[in-house]
Amino acid sequence: MIRGLRGATTVEQNDAEAIAQETEALLGQMIEKNDISPEQVAHVWFTVTEDIDAAFPAKAARQFKGWEYVPVMCAREIPVPGSLEKCIRIMLTADTKKAQNEMHHIYLNKAVVLRPDLELTDTKE
């Protein structure tokens, strides 16, 4: 079954190193907590808010062994007034035997406020 896996994090500043570091931390936890291998991944979408343009967060995926062939794409989020600033979001689709409610969505830093309705969501600061 193809499942969607969500994650989000924030950066303190629009800086290439911070973007890479926070994206790598987020994707790493998504991979680890859900036991995802690169062969299972159909594709990964990375989005950023308008205030992030110093680097492509998708580049962080290349830091993981075997991920050089995983299709990745970056896009910009809709600029909704009052939305969370300096936010990087990930939508990863993967083939897994896990049920929908067994997927561990990961929210880090200030992004923990995005999905308080998911009681079983891993939220690490």
92 pLDDT exceeds 80? Answer: yes
The predicted structure's pLDDT at residue 18 = 98
Distance between CA atoms of 45 and 21, rounded to whole angstroms? 17
Fold of 2-124: 60s Ribosomal Protein L30; Chain: A; (3.30.1330)
Percent of the chain with pLDDT over 90: 90
Query: Where does the pLDDT of residue 35 fall: very low under 50, low under 70, confident under 90, or very high at 90 and above?
Result: very high
53 pLDDT exceeds 70? Answer: yes
The predicted structure's pLDDT at residue 120 = 46
Distance between CA atoms of 71 and 15, rounded to whole angstroms? 24
Element (H, E) at 61: none
Binding site listing: 6, 89, 107
Catalytic residues: 6, 62, 74, 77, 89, 107, 115
The mean pLDDT value for 1-28 works out to: 97
SS3 sequence, 64-123?
Answer: CCCHHHCCEEEEECCCCCCCCCCEEEEEEEEECCCCHHHCCCEEEHHHHHCCCCCCCCEE
Binding site listing for prephenate: 6, 89, 107
Domain boundaries of the chain, sorted by first residue: 2-124
Residue 10, CB half-sphere, CA atoms under 13 Å: how many? 16
Beta-carbon contacts of residue 18 (< 8 Å; ≥ 6 apart): 11, 12
122 pLDDT exceeds 60? Answer: no
The predicted structure's pLDDT at residue 55 = 97
